[in-house]
Amino acid sequence: MAASGIGGVIDFFVTGGLFMIPLLGASVVSLAVIYLRWRALQVEEVLPPALIEETERLQPGQHPLQLAEIAFTNSSALSRVFRVALANLRWPKAENVEAVQTRARQEILSLESGLVILEIIVGIGPLLGLLGAVSGLVAVFSNLDPSGMGANPSGVARGIAEALHTTIMGLAVAVPSLVAHSYFSKRVEVMAVQMESLVSELLIKCYGDHPTLPSEVALDLSEWMRQERALEETANKNKFPKTESQVVLNLKKLSRAVWELVNNWRELISERMAQIKFLRKTTRTDLSSQNTRGEK
Please state, in angstroms and as integers, the Cα–Cα distance from residue 119 to each residue in 28, 115, 184, 198, 238, following that order: 15, 6, 11, 30, 48
For residues 93 and 211, is the Cβ–Cβ distance under 8 A?
yes
> pTM for the full model?
0.67
pLDDT in tens, 151-202: 677 777 888 888 898 999 999 999 999 999 999 999 999 999 999 999 998 8
How far apart (Å, rounded) are the C-alpha atoms in residues 53 and 193? 17
d(CA 75, CA 48): 9
Return d(Cα 161, Cα 293) in angstroms, integer: 83
Contact (Cβ atoms closer than 8 angstroms) between residue 72 and residue 83:
yes
Mean pLDDT value of segment 203-221: 61
Q: Report the distance separating Cα 100 and Cα 284, nearest Å.
A: 89
**Average of per-residue pLDDT across 80-101:** 86
In this prediction, what percent of the chain has a pLDDT beyond 70?
66
CA 127 to chain CA mean position, Å: 27
Per-residue pLDDT of 231-267, as tens digits, reads: 555 555 554 444 444 545 555 665 566 566 656 656 7
The predicted structure's pLDDT at residue 181: 95
Supply φ then ψ for residue 60, to 5 degrees.
Answer: -60, 130
Instruction: Give the per-residue pLDDT at 173.
Output: 94
d(CA 202, CA 208): 10
Share the mean pLDDT of the chain: 78
pLDDT of residue 130: 92
Cβ-Cβ contacts under 8 Å for 55 (sequence gap 6 or more): 67, 198, 201, 202, 205
Question: What pLDDT is stored for residue 244 in this prediction?
Answer: 42
Domain borders along the chain are: 2-213, 218-296
Give the whole-angstrom CA distance, residue 235 versus residue 229: 10
What confidence score (pLDDT) does residue 226 get?
Answer: 59
Residue pLDDT, tens place only, 127-157: 999 999 998 888 888 877 666 556 677 777 8
